[in-house]
Amino acid sequence: MLSARARLLRAHQVPESYREPGILSGYRPPRSSARECLLSLFRMNNETLNVWTHLVPAGYLLWLLVAHLGAAGAGAGPFLAYLGTCALYPLASGAAHALGALGTRGRHRAYCCDYAALSLYGLGSALAYSAYAFPLEWLGSTFHHFYVPMAVLNSALSTGLSCYSRFLEAERPCLSKASRTLAFVYPYIFDSIPIFYRLSRSAAGSCSEASLPLHSRHSLCALLTFLSFTSRLPERLAPGSFDFIGHSHQVFHVCGILGTLFQLEAVSVDMAERRGRLPLPSSLETFGSLGMGAAASLAILGICFRSLRPEPLPREKSH
């Protein structure tokens, strides 16, 4: 049973760092306990669907990962690494939103873990693209040789910049949002260069492959994800009308997951169609690269966690 403290609050009753533009109600009490945060998942508030739109797909992706582990053949290392990061990021995101009503320090830690998982997903995508989706005419090129090392570096930079944006949130919210957006847009664009090249050749009529329509849908979903994250629509047009259902972050989650599912299917088609045509990296190269990216992100998280300071909450106003 939910405690009395589980009552929902309006925007003016929570600290500014907890508020979302255009969301006027449905806030959980700040500094809730972990137990209260978890219990709140079963009561409608403005974070409920943010959690479930990622936890449910995470369960499905984990099931896929277990199924592929049992049937993995030669050369499946990059695919398994990629699929693992596909399952990790919605799991971390769902957990971050679930624990978003903790005290300031706990809230920041949860979201920093979310950003690190999303950065690793970008690295996992690059590993899959390098192994299965690279343009055949680019194989062995300088760009191909440096593609994965650059993706490892970009993953660390993404984690660092997105975590740093948490420190800017209170005093410079616009810069914080811009930094966080850049932290994920730049790695996505870099990782997708091979896909964009293949799509441009297809548009020019130079090639036609079964995976390209799926890659196109993934790119469209990525664009919609970016637009929903930056525009804050529809709640900016009608503040208070989308507090519980339909606000931009829910759209952001749904578009992101749909994009991942299209990407997963596209990579699977590429892996099947191009088997034997691309030189596959060893498991050591694949998981070594993923391990370096994870180690860098964990080091950055450690630095951020040590640097976080709790901020005092203002007294709740009575209205």
Domain boundaries in the chain?
48-307
- pLDDT at position 282, please? 87
Calculate mean pLDDT across residues 266-293: 90
- pLDDT at position 16, please? 86
CATH 1.20.1070 fits 48-307, yes or no: yes
Q: Which has more pLDDT, 229 or 3?
A: 229
Percent over 90 (pLDDT), the chain: 78
Percent over 70 (pLDDT), the chain: 94
Residue 142's pLDDT band, with cuts at 50, 70 and 90, is very high
Least confident of 3-17, 97-111, 160-174, 265-279: 3-17
**DSSP sequence for the chain:** ---GGG--B-GGGS-GGG--TT--S-BPPTT--HHHHHHGGGS--TTHHHHHHHHHHHHHHHHHHHHHHHT--TT-HHHHHHHHHHHHHHHHHHHHHHTTTS-HHHHHHHHHHHHHHHHHHHHHHHHHIIIIIS-GGGTTSHHHHHHHHHHHHHHHHHHHHHHHHHHHTTT-HHHHHHHHHHHHHHHHHHHTHHHHHHHHHHHTTS---TTHHHHHHHHHHHHHHHHHHHH-TTTTTSTTTTSSSS-HHHHHHHHHHHHHHHHHHHHHHHHHHTTTTSPPPPHHHHHHHHHHHHHHHHHHHHHHHHH----PPPPPPP-
Residue 219's pLDDT band, with cuts at 50, 70 and 90, is very high
- pLDDT at position 241, please? 95
- pLDDT at position 316, please? 42
Highest averaged pLDDT of the listed ranges 120-134, 164-178, 207-221, 274-288: 120-134
Least confident of 13-17, 37-41, 129-133, 299-303: 13-17
Calculate mean pLDDT across residues 281-307: 94
- pLDDT at position 4, please? 39
